Chains A and B, each alone.
Chain A
Amino acid sequence: MKVLYFAWLRTKIGLAQEEVTPPAEVADVAGLVEWLKGRGPKYAEALANTAVVKVAVNQEYVPYDHPLSAGDEVALFPPVTGG
Protein backbone atom coordinates (compact mmCIF):
# COMPACT_ATOMS: atom_id res chain seq x y z
CA MET A 1 0.00 0.00 0.00
CA LYS A 2 0.95 3.61 -0.45
CA VAL A 3 1.51 5.76 2.64
CA LEU A 4 1.61 9.57 2.39
CA TYR A 5 2.91 11.99 5.02
CA PHE A 6 2.08 15.69 5.22
CA ALA A 7 3.27 18.80 7.10
CA TRP A 8 5.41 18.02 10.19
CA LEU A 9 4.88 14.28 9.76
CA ARG A 10 6.57 14.59 6.38
CA THR A 11 9.47 16.66 7.71
CA LYS A 12 9.99 14.47 10.82
CA ILE A 13 9.91 11.20 8.89
CA GLY A 14 11.82 12.70 5.99
CA LEU A 15 9.55 11.26 3.29
CA ALA A 16 6.48 12.52 1.44
CA GLN A 17 5.34 9.05 0.47
CA GLU A 18 6.42 5.42 0.30
CA GLU A 19 5.22 1.98 -0.73
CA VAL A 20 5.02 -0.42 2.19
CA THR A 21 4.09 -4.07 2.55
CA PRO A 22 3.15 -4.61 6.18
CA PRO A 23 2.79 -8.18 7.51
CA ALA A 24 -0.60 -9.87 7.29
CA GLU A 25 -1.43 -9.22 10.96
CA VAL A 26 -1.61 -5.47 10.24
CA ALA A 27 -5.37 -5.31 9.65
CA ASP A 28 -6.33 -1.72 10.43
CA VAL A 29 -5.01 1.84 10.68
CA ALA A 30 -3.97 1.43 14.33
CA GLY A 31 -1.97 -1.68 13.41
CA LEU A 32 -0.28 0.10 10.52
CA VAL A 33 0.72 3.06 12.70
CA GLU A 34 2.18 0.70 15.34
CA TRP A 35 4.09 -1.19 12.63
CA LEU A 36 5.40 2.05 11.09
CA LYS A 37 6.70 3.16 14.52
CA GLY A 38 8.96 0.09 14.48
CA ARG A 39 10.62 1.19 11.25
CA GLY A 40 12.97 3.61 13.01
CA PRO A 41 13.38 6.43 15.52
CA LYS A 42 12.10 9.09 13.10
CA TYR A 43 8.84 7.19 12.66
CA ALA A 44 8.57 6.48 16.39
CA GLU A 45 9.00 10.17 17.22
CA ALA A 46 6.65 11.46 14.52
CA LEU A 47 3.91 8.98 15.45
CA ALA A 48 4.39 9.07 19.23
CA ASN A 49 1.20 11.03 19.93
CA THR A 50 -1.58 9.68 17.73
CA ALA A 51 -4.01 12.22 19.22
CA VAL A 52 -2.47 14.69 16.74
CA VAL A 53 -2.20 12.31 13.78
CA LYS A 54 -5.25 12.27 11.51
CA VAL A 55 -5.78 9.50 8.97
CA ALA A 56 -7.35 9.33 5.53
CA VAL A 57 -7.76 6.12 3.54
CA ASN A 58 -8.35 6.59 -0.18
CA GLN A 59 -8.77 10.33 0.49
CA GLU A 60 -11.56 10.02 3.08
CA TYR A 61 -11.16 10.62 6.83
CA VAL A 62 -11.29 7.36 8.80
CA PRO A 63 -10.96 6.32 12.46
CA TYR A 64 -8.04 4.21 13.71
CA ASP A 65 -10.11 1.01 13.65
CA HIS A 66 -10.72 1.35 9.90
CA PRO A 67 -9.68 -1.89 8.10
CA LEU A 68 -6.94 -1.77 5.45
CA SER A 69 -6.36 -3.61 2.18
CA ALA A 70 -3.25 -3.98 0.08
CA GLY A 71 -4.14 -1.39 -2.57
CA ASP A 72 -5.12 1.39 -0.16
CA GLU A 73 -3.71 4.91 -0.20
CA VAL A 74 -3.19 5.82 3.46
CA ALA A 75 -2.38 9.42 4.44
CA LEU A 76 -1.13 10.48 7.88
CA PHE A 77 -1.19 14.17 8.77
CA PRO A 78 -1.63 16.67 11.61
CA PRO A 79 -4.95 18.46 12.22
CA VAL A 80 -5.58 20.73 9.24
CA THR A 81 -4.95 24.50 9.31
CA GLY A 82 -6.25 25.90 6.02
CA GLY A 83 -8.61 28.80 5.37
Chain B
Amino acid sequence: MTIRVQREDFDVGAELEALTRGKTSIGGVTTFLGLVRDMAGGSSVGAMTLEHYPGMTERQLEAIEAEARRRWPLDDVLVIHRYGRLEPGDRIVLVATTSAHREAAFESCHFLIDWLKTKAPFWKLESTAEGEQWVEAKGSDDNAAARWEK
Protein backbone atom coordinates (compact mmCIF):
# COMPACT_ATOMS: atom_id res chain seq x y z
CA MET B 1 0.00 0.00 0.00
CA THR B 2 1.12 3.50 -0.68
CA ILE B 3 -0.35 6.74 0.64
CA ARG B 4 1.34 9.95 -0.44
CA VAL B 5 0.33 13.52 0.44
CA GLN B 6 2.55 15.85 -1.54
CA ARG B 7 2.90 19.27 -3.12
CA GLU B 8 4.53 17.90 -6.29
CA ASP B 9 2.77 16.64 -9.40
CA PHE B 10 2.80 12.94 -10.24
CA ASP B 11 3.17 10.88 -13.43
CA VAL B 12 0.17 8.57 -13.76
CA GLY B 13 1.86 6.21 -16.22
CA ALA B 14 4.97 5.84 -14.05
CA GLU B 15 2.86 5.28 -10.94
CA LEU B 16 0.80 2.53 -12.60
CA GLU B 17 3.92 0.92 -13.99
CA ALA B 18 5.47 0.84 -10.49
CA LEU B 19 2.24 -0.54 -9.03
CA THR B 20 1.97 -3.47 -11.43
CA ARG B 21 5.50 -4.26 -12.58
CA GLY B 22 6.32 -7.94 -12.09
CA LYS B 23 3.02 -8.68 -10.35
CA THR B 24 1.48 -11.27 -12.63
CA SER B 25 -1.35 -12.14 -10.21
CA ILE B 26 -3.04 -8.81 -11.00
CA GLY B 27 -5.87 -9.12 -13.49
CA GLY B 28 -7.14 -5.54 -13.41
CA VAL B 29 -6.32 -2.01 -12.34
CA THR B 30 -8.91 0.71 -11.73
CA THR B 31 -7.80 4.34 -11.46
CA PHE B 32 -9.54 7.54 -10.50
CA LEU B 33 -7.74 10.73 -11.48
CA GLY B 34 -9.15 13.99 -10.08
CA LEU B 35 -8.37 17.28 -11.86
CA VAL B 36 -8.93 20.97 -11.07
CA ARG B 37 -12.01 22.15 -12.98
CA ASP B 38 -12.13 25.65 -14.47
CA MET B 39 -15.71 26.40 -13.36
CA ALA B 40 -17.34 26.41 -9.93
CA GLY B 41 -20.98 27.38 -9.50
CA GLY B 42 -20.92 29.60 -12.58
CA SER B 43 -17.66 31.36 -11.66
CA SER B 44 -14.43 30.88 -13.55
CA VAL B 45 -11.73 29.45 -11.30
CA GLY B 46 -8.25 30.92 -11.79
CA ALA B 47 -6.53 28.80 -9.17
CA MET B 48 -7.21 26.59 -6.18
CA THR B 49 -5.25 26.18 -2.97
CA LEU B 50 -5.57 22.93 -1.05
CA GLU B 51 -4.94 23.04 2.68
CA HIS B 52 -4.63 19.88 4.79
CA TYR B 53 -3.98 18.67 8.31
CA PRO B 54 -0.55 17.00 8.20
CA GLY B 55 -0.56 13.80 10.20
CA MET B 56 -4.32 13.38 10.42
CA THR B 57 -4.59 13.32 6.62
CA GLU B 58 -2.26 10.34 6.36
CA ARG B 59 -3.96 8.59 9.28
CA GLN B 60 -7.40 9.00 7.74
CA LEU B 61 -6.23 7.83 4.32
CA GLU B 62 -4.59 4.78 5.91
CA ALA B 63 -7.81 3.98 7.80
CA ILE B 64 -9.89 4.29 4.60
CA GLU B 65 -7.46 2.06 2.75
CA ALA B 66 -7.53 -0.54 5.52
CA GLU B 67 -11.33 -0.56 5.27
CA ALA B 68 -11.14 -1.11 1.50
CA ARG B 69 -8.80 -4.06 2.03
CA ARG B 70 -11.21 -5.56 4.57
CA ARG B 71 -14.03 -5.37 2.05
CA TRP B 72 -12.36 -6.47 -1.18
CA PRO B 73 -9.54 -8.88 -2.13
CA LEU B 74 -7.00 -6.30 -3.30
CA ASP B 75 -3.47 -6.82 -4.43
CA ASP B 76 -2.47 -3.21 -3.83
CA VAL B 77 -3.79 0.32 -3.29
CA LEU B 78 -2.21 3.62 -4.25
CA VAL B 79 -3.51 7.02 -3.11
CA ILE B 80 -1.69 10.23 -4.01
CA HIS B 81 -3.26 13.55 -2.98
CA ARG B 82 -1.70 16.94 -3.64
CA TYR B 83 -1.87 20.13 -1.60
CA GLY B 84 -0.81 23.72 -2.24
CA ARG B 85 -1.66 25.96 -5.20
CA LEU B 86 -3.10 24.27 -8.28
CA GLU B 87 -4.50 25.59 -11.56
CA PRO B 88 -7.31 24.33 -13.83
CA GLY B 89 -6.24 21.11 -15.52
CA ASP B 90 -3.76 20.21 -12.77
CA ARG B 91 -3.92 16.76 -11.24
CA ILE B 92 -5.21 16.73 -7.63
CA VAL B 93 -5.67 13.11 -6.66
CA LEU B 94 -4.94 9.62 -7.94
CA VAL B 95 -6.56 6.49 -6.54
CA ALA B 96 -5.52 3.15 -8.05
CA THR B 97 -6.55 -0.33 -6.97
CA THR B 98 -5.26 -3.63 -8.28
CA SER B 99 -6.88 -7.02 -7.92
CA ALA B 100 -7.12 -10.41 -9.57
CA HIS B 101 -10.60 -9.47 -10.80
CA ARG B 102 -12.12 -6.27 -12.14
CA GLU B 103 -15.11 -6.09 -9.81
CA ALA B 104 -13.00 -5.71 -6.66
CA ALA B 105 -10.78 -3.14 -8.39
CA PHE B 106 -13.73 -1.06 -9.68
CA GLU B 107 -15.78 -1.11 -6.48
CA SER B 108 -12.89 -0.44 -4.10
CA CYS B 109 -11.63 2.49 -6.21
CA HIS B 110 -15.11 4.05 -6.17
CA PHE B 111 -15.37 3.46 -2.41
CA LEU B 112 -11.94 5.00 -1.76
CA ILE B 113 -12.60 8.27 -3.60
CA ASP B 114 -16.09 8.60 -2.06
CA TRP B 115 -14.83 8.14 1.48
CA LEU B 116 -11.70 10.21 0.87
CA LYS B 117 -13.87 13.17 -0.17
CA THR B 118 -15.86 13.13 3.07
CA LYS B 119 -13.23 11.97 5.60
CA ALA B 120 -9.71 13.09 4.61
CA PRO B 121 -9.00 16.55 6.10
CA PHE B 122 -8.43 18.66 2.98
CA TRP B 123 -10.03 22.03 2.24
CA LYS B 124 -10.17 23.87 -1.09
CA LEU B 125 -9.85 27.62 -1.41
CA GLU B 126 -10.95 28.79 -4.87
CA SER B 127 -9.71 32.00 -6.46
CA THR B 128 -12.22 33.46 -8.90
CA ALA B 129 -12.76 36.88 -10.47
CA GLU B 130 -15.06 37.65 -7.50
CA GLY B 131 -12.30 36.87 -5.00
CA GLU B 132 -11.29 33.94 -2.85
CA GLN B 133 -13.77 31.59 -1.25
CA TRP B 134 -13.65 28.33 0.65
CA VAL B 135 -15.43 25.53 -1.17
CA GLU B 136 -18.44 24.28 0.77
CA ALA B 137 -18.98 20.58 1.37
CA LYS B 138 -21.70 19.11 -0.85
CA GLY B 139 -24.60 16.99 0.36
CA SER B 140 -24.22 14.92 -2.80
CA ASP B 141 -20.72 13.89 -1.62
CA ASP B 142 -22.16 12.82 1.75
CA ASN B 143 -24.79 10.77 -0.08
CA ALA B 144 -22.15 9.18 -2.29
CA ALA B 145 -20.12 8.19 0.77
CA ALA B 146 -23.21 6.94 2.62
CA ARG B 147 -23.84 4.36 -0.10
CA TRP B 148 -20.87 2.44 1.27
CA GLU B 149 -21.93 2.53 4.93
CA LYS B 150 -22.60 -0.90 6.35
Contact = CB atoms under 8 A, between A and B. Distances in A.
Given A59-B56, A78-B134, A7 B118 contact: no
Nearest to A61: B119
Contacts of A6: 51, 53, 121, 123
Given A75-B56, A77-B53, A83 B34 contact: yes
Interface residues of A, number: 16
Nearest 8 CB-CB pairings of A with B: A82-B122, A79-B137, A83-B117, A7-B123, A59-B56, A81-B135, A8-B134, A81-B124
Interface of B: 34, 50-53, 55-56, 59, 81, 92-93, 113, 116-125, 134-137, 141
Given A79-B118, A79-B137, A80-B122, 10 more contacts: A6-B51, A6-B53, A77-B123, A78-B123, A79-B136, A80-B137, A82-B52, A82-B81, A82-B121, A83-B141
